[in-house]
Structure 1
Amino acid sequence: MTDVSREAVYQPPSELAEKYKGGIQRHTAVTPHPSASVPGSTRIKLVESFYIRPRWLFVRIETEGGVVGWGEGTLEGHTEAVQGSLKDISRRIVGWDAMNIEDIYTYLYRHRFYRGGEVLMSAISGIDIALWDIKGKVLGVPVWQLLGGAVRERCEVYGWIGGDRPSDVLEQAKVRKAQGFTKVKMNATESIGWLDSPHALDETVKRLAEVKSIGLDAGLDFHGRVHKAMAKQLAQQLEPHRPLFIEEPLLPGHVNELKDLYNKTTIPIALGERLFTRLDVRPYFEAGCIDIIQPDIAHAGGISETKKIAIMAEAYDIGVAPHCPLGPLAFAASLQVGFSTPNFVICEMSWKMHYNVGGFDLFTYMTNPDVFAVKNGHIDLLTAPGLGIELNEDLIRKEAAEAAKLEPWQNPIFRGPDGSVREW
């Protein structure tokens, strides 16, 4: 007699398994630019940069064949330094073939002996993103096609609530939910001392509980403000409330200390906006002290280096969540990586973020903002050639002329009651 209780039970395929049993099926028309078949047409003719409000630095590259690519090299609080680096880079690469992205990247990174760092890598980022935009437009395909094709049909995104000094997060969370977000991020604390009162952490826990009460998941950005003595207390208090992740719980560089914290908590740990190359992220991967890497595509070396970091992260079972409190070009570039990267998890979106003041926001310089519509917490696959967004160049040039008369954006300064500088 057969013991039916021990027979194998096979479940039918899920609806999603049935839907995608043939893989991702998204046809995109391929129409190369007319200059694509003209010898010499893809040589770089002109490189320009534009500082525009609220705090972004755009890069424009034009080829001899008339194809224009846009990139972003925003480095908040260091605009003039990046502009200087871009001026130097621009005179070096005019005449080079814009299609040879890896050759240009390798030259800019390796040729001048001193390499890496936030200023040079941000300048290279702006150039690199613009070159990928050009290549996609010349060939008539979105960038994700050039990165191996789509592995998903949409990318998950999160919006910000609370500002630099988090408050009123519940009301802001309700607005984000109405906008279509299912996940948000907020700063964990205000200015906090190296060793502060444990009660300084009470409001953080309360805020997280409030946001989760309306059905949203929330990541908490420690922003490197919280030093080791307080970080381990805060992680312990947050654990029962299950945040989506904690970001920069300690300052970059403290690999061993981060590993100690990692071993004390089950909360996913994210980090990476102040790491700029594969060499910078390598110690964190090898130490096994993070769950999510957050390269900023406008700082880390553009699409080229961000994609390589993502591939490297997959070997360590680390997810990729691009850091992007920046403009539409950095956001579009981050999504292009996300569409083609298996271990992508979520991307930051700066729409209506607290830094976007004075009437300037993510969509201000775009002529096709509908491509960034948030639907159930996701952005649909971008299908237009290149980065997939269109910009109002006349408005950019006009605003750059006005912004040039002003002081570039500077980050706030935090000080304690004794007058000493605190981490922002």
Structure 2
Amino acid sequence: MKITDVKTYIAGNNWKNWVFTQVETDEGITGLGEATLNGFAKTTEAGVHDLKRLVIGKDPFDVEHLSLSMFRNYYSDGGQIQGAALSGIEYGCWDIMGKALGVPVYKLLGGKAQPKLRAYANGWYRSARTPENFYKNAKQTVEKGYTALKFDPFGSAWRVVDRPDFYYAIENIAAVRDAVGEEVDILIEGHNRFSVHTALQFAEAMRPYSPTWFEAPVPPQKISSMVEVAKRSPVPIACGEDYYCREQFSELLAYNAVHIIQLEPQYLGITAAKQIAAMTHAHNGVIAPHSAQGPLCSLVCAHLNTATPNFYLHEVFDDFNVDWTRQLLNNPIKVEDGYITVNEEPGWGAELNLDVVEAHPYNPNNFLPLFSDGWEKRQSVEMD
């Protein structure tokens, strides 16, 4: 079997354009992939077409070699853009292998290490940033069966905040804890916002509300800053979604400071993601992969998590996106009583609905402006 082409499609979801790929072969088997990256849909789409010359004519079963080639052979560091494009192609290869062999991808990754996946809700707080709204939306979310919720209470904060904004963010955290009770996990999203000192002040202030983790409290580029926060914080630190190569995770893990690793398969590909999960396992850590892209990314993470013994939590946006997005795949993930179970269909077990893609085209204003007021509403935004 040989790869003959890679095609791309963009669906205009209002808070992030989703980039999908289809890897084609000379035997008629096609593989579905995703190459989404916030704000860079057209760029990653171009990246897919730049990289595909490295795989056309090659056997999709040689996925380890293909993944390395797409990462290494241009001798350039394309960062998350290169990683997203690589993943779009590599995901398609895994789907092809599963279809050709008649097995779900998780069986190719080692089989079922997890009978089901505990899910946490994200994207549930799409309203004005007030304690009252956080309380109401959190109650509605746990009523759907979720036992863990993640949220960013910080508005458009960056590096430092004034005292009223500081305490307002803590009020939002308190409102969620009050709404969900003591037995539900609350996960605080930092979105790389703060200086080390501000992050540590917030970590201390949120401690009475027993967050399960404080995620990405400082920018990821200086791993030493993340490590400093992790070693001094009274609550656990989680991070990793921004990294796009094994070496970054190797450096992070070497400090033995962060033990909740949120690798992003969308920037790594499954081949590297599986290796990083094993590296984390060797450091007595757990993985909670970042899954904030499109519906195929959710499925990919579900297969990876199912085959990973040190899996912790699975991120879910799908239940909180607009209705039409649920029609993009013919067999998307389903959350029942707060848990996900992957289906047993070959490959990813889903196909892309091209009619739905065509009905919702790319829009340059579809991205998440995390440092602008009102970003929580996840609406298409025209920037000044």
TM-score normalised over the length of structure 2:
0.89
Matches of 2:372 and 2:295, distance apart in 1: 32
Structure 1 residue 90 displacement after superposition: 2.2
Superposed CA offset, 1:41-88 (max 9, x none):
x21122101111201000111211111110111011111211111111
How far did residue 115 of structure 1 move? 3.5
1:290 equivalent in structure 2: 258
1: CA distance, partners of 2:338 / 2:209: 21
The one-letter code of the counterpart of 2:300 is A
Matches for 1:132-211 after TM superposition, within 5 Å: 132-160=94-122, 161-163=124-126, 166-167=129-130, 168-211=133-176
CA RMSD of aligned residues (A): 2.0
* Cα distance in 2 between the residues matched to 1:225 and 1:280: 20
Give the letter for the 2:224 counterpart: N
Distance 1:323 1:119 in 2: 16
The structure that is helix-richer by fraction is 2
- The aligned amino acid for 2:342 is L
Q: 1:362-387: CA deviations, max 9, x gaps?
A: x2212234xx2222311013211111
Q: Would the aligned equivalents of 2:158 and 2:371 in 1 still touch at CA under 8 Å?
A: no
Aligned residue in 2 for 1:48: 7
Unpaired stretches in structure 2, ≥5 consecutive residues: 374-384
| Contact residue 166 and residue 187 of structure 1 kept, 8 A | no
Q: Is the 8 A contact 2:343 2:349 kept in 1?
A: yes
Aligned counterparts of 1:253 and 1:164: Cα–Cα separation in 2: 31
In 1, Cα distance between the equivalents of 2:166 and 2:128? Answer: 13
CA shift, 1:123, in A, is 0.2
Q: Give the distance between the partners of 1:51 and 1:373, measured in 2 at CA.
A: 23
Aligned-residue identity in percent: 28
User: By how many angstroms is 1:102 displaced?
Assistant: 1.0
Relative to 1, partners in 2 of residues 1:91 and 1:261: Cα closer, same or farther, differing over 3 Å?
closer
Partner of 1:321: 288
8 Å contact 1:166–1:188 — kept in the other structure?
Answer: yes
Equivalent position amino acid for 1:46 in 2: D
Deviation string 1:180-229 (CA, Å, 9 cap, x unpaired) is: 21111000301225332233222232222322232332101010112223
How far apart in 2 are the matches of 1:152 and 1:307? 15
Amino acid at match of 1:322: P
Q: Give distance in 2, aligned partners of 1:226 and 1:325.
A: 21
CA distance 1:245–1:164, change in 2 (3 Å): farther
Provide the residue aligned with 1:410 in structure 2: 367
**Structure-1 separation of matches of 2:344 and 2:119:** 18
Cα separation, 1, equivalents of 2:173 and 2:250 = 31
Q: Following the alignment from structure 1 to structure 2, what is the Cα–Cα distance between the partners of residues 117 and 187?
A: 25
Alignment partner, residue 419 of structure 1: none
- The corresponding residue for 2:377 is none
Give the corresponding residue for 1:307: 274
Query: Is the CA contact 1:79–1:408 (under 8 Å) kept in the aligned structure 2?
Result: no
Written as runs of structure 1 = structure 2, the 5 A alignment for 1:90-101 is 90-101=52-63
Amino acid at match of 1:250: V
CA distance in 2, matches of 1:336, 1:194: 36
Q: Contact 1:74 / 1:298 at 8 angstroms: preserved in 2?
A: yes
Aligned with 1:210: secondary structure? helix
Separation in structure 1 between the aligned mates of residue 170 and residue 159 of structure 2, nearest angstrom: 19
Is residue 2:337 matched to residue 1:376? Answer: yes
My pick for the range that moved more, 150-159 or 209-218, is 209-218
**Does structure 2 conserve the Cα–Cα contact (< 8 Å) formed by 1:222 and 1:249?**
yes
How many residues are treated as equivalent by the alignment? 364
1:355-374 pair list within 5 angstroms: 356=321, 359-361=323-325, 363-369=326-332, 372-374=333-335
1:278 partner amino acid: R
By how many angstroms is 1:408 displaced?
5.6
2:356 matches 1:395: yes
CA spacing shift, 1:277–1:169, aligned 2, 3 Å:
same
How far apart are the structure 1 equivalents of 2:155 and 2:348?
Answer: 36
Does 2:288 match 1:331? no
| Structure 1 residue runs without a partner (length 5+) | 1-41, 417-424
Equivalent residue for 2:187?
219
CA separation in 2, counterparts of 1:184 and 1:278? Answer: 28
Distance (whole Å) between structure 2 residues aligned to residue 347 and residue 189 of structure 1: 23
Q: Following the alignment from structure 2 to structure 1, what is the Cα–Cα distance between the partners of residues 103 and 349?
A: 9
1:144 to partner: Cα distance:
0.9
2-side partners of 1:97 and 1:382: how far apart?
Answer: 26
The separation in 2 between residues aligned to 1:195 and 1:365, in whole angstroms, is 40
Amino acid at match of 2:343: L
C-alpha contact 1:272 1:293 (8 A) present in aligned 2: yes
Aligned partners of 2:89 and 2:129: how far apart in 1?
35
Distance 1:206 1:408 in 2: 31
SS at match of 1:185: strand
How far apart are 1:413 and its partner, in Å? 6.4
| TM-score between both structures, scaled by the size of structure 1 | 0.81
Larger Rg: 1
Which residue of 2 is the match for residue 17 of structure 1?
Answer: none
The answer on 1:341 being equivalent to 2:303 is no
Question: d(CA) in 1 for partners of 2:238 and 2:91?
Answer: 24
CA distance in 2, matches of 1:132, 1:229: 43
3-state DSSP class of the match of 1:298? helix
